[in-house]
Structure 1
């Protein structure tokens, strides 16, 4: 877990501190490659602690065209709020559904735990269809050969029999 002490800035509104991190992290649901780099500013904004700054990391992802794994470099700007967790307070459904609470995390005592904030920031920065390279050729529609590794023996007009009816319909639309 990545923990940051905020004891020194909780004393007065407006106080801030810089937090830099450059190292490996284990974050659930992410396959991080290499080090995560953070250069954050933590600011006491009266009733909350604001966390702002760049987040950089390499994520191991499958290409949406050829299915080969590659390292996707994420560079994102983190901007989140942490509010003190009230003892014994359980969030109601109304509180959880309120839009102004969606980007608010809680902290206990005098420390922030940044793992979940970083996880969400990195996941949000991943494109819907990540590709290994702009020129990725993908897979052959017929045999599944990775076309980046070479051509296959399939003919350009070969259509999987399950898609034949759709191909005929499509050809009829073009005439």
Structure 2
């Protein structure tokens, strides 16, 4: 089994290169996606005392479900990573304080280890679209019969009819559309 932890004791100098590959099976199915191909992680780790800066790239393929037709589809994903890690004890402040934009790229480590699996999951969640679509032109599911309109055409009436007028609608006959009349 591949270790998904980065031992910070191995980072001896001010800069360290980390190239890791994790099998897709190392990541269980998440709520919003599944990892469909191996995850390639290339990081430059910079050390400044007990602070670490991770800069690099994450490359994988993610399988998502389309929010319109519910079909799974794969998305090639390449993400830039820029995260600063501080020791966990730095985060033990009491009271409330406002965070800045710079604080959003700060994470915490403990026991001289960084969980790279957690980093990958977090970055993939942050990159996930609110409404993933298999295609911008996806027609979705028929709200009446549930057919995938990308694959088949159904004859369902999808026009909205006010239910308050259903009784009246049954009383009124729709007139036939008259054809062109000839004057003769």
TM-score by length of 1: 0.74
Cα deviation, residue 23, structure 1: 2.4
Structure 1: 5+ residue stretches without partners: 166-175
- Quote the residue 2:175 is aligned against: none
The verdict on how the C-alpha distance between 1:81 and 1:164 changes in structure 2, with shifts beyond 3 A counting, is farther
Q: CA deviation at 1:57?
A: 2.3
What are the Cα deviations for residues 123-175 of structure 1, in whole angstroms up to 9, with x where unaligned?
111112211134322222443311111111225xx42435899xxxxxxxxxx
**Which one of 128, 144, 153 corresponds to residue 151 of structure 1?**
153
> C-alpha displacement at 1:50, in angstroms?
0.7
**8 Å CA contact retained: 1:19, 1:42:** no
| Partner SS, residue 123 of structure 2 | helix
Post-superposition offset of 1:49: 0.6
Q: Is the 8 A contact 1:3 1:112 kept in 2?
A: yes
Backbone CA RMSD of aligned residues? 2.8
1:5, CA displacement in angstroms? 1.8
Task: State the Cα deviation string for residues 72-121 of structure 1 (Å, max 9, x = none).
Answer: 2221111101112229x6343535x5234332112223321122221121
The structure with the larger Rg is: 2
3-state SS in 2 of match to 1:121: helix
1:62 aligned onto 2:65: yes
Q: Alignment length, in residue pairs? A: 159
Distance 1:144 1:82 in 2: 48
- Unpaired stretches in structure 2, ≥5 consecutive residues: 166-184
Matched with 1:8 is: 10
With structure 2 as the length reference, what TM-score do the two structures score?
0.71
Measure the CA separation in 2 of the matches of 1:163 and 1:76.
49
Aligned to 1:34: 37
Structure 1 window deviating more from structure 2 (60-69 vs 21-30): it is 21-30
| CA deviations over 1:3-23 (Å, ceiling 9, x no partner) | 0122232x45x3322333242
Is residue 161 of structure 1 aligned with residue 161 of structure 2?
yes
What SS is found at the alignment partner of 2:89?
A: coil
CA distance in 2, matches of 1:105, 1:58: 25
1:98 and 2:99 matched? yes
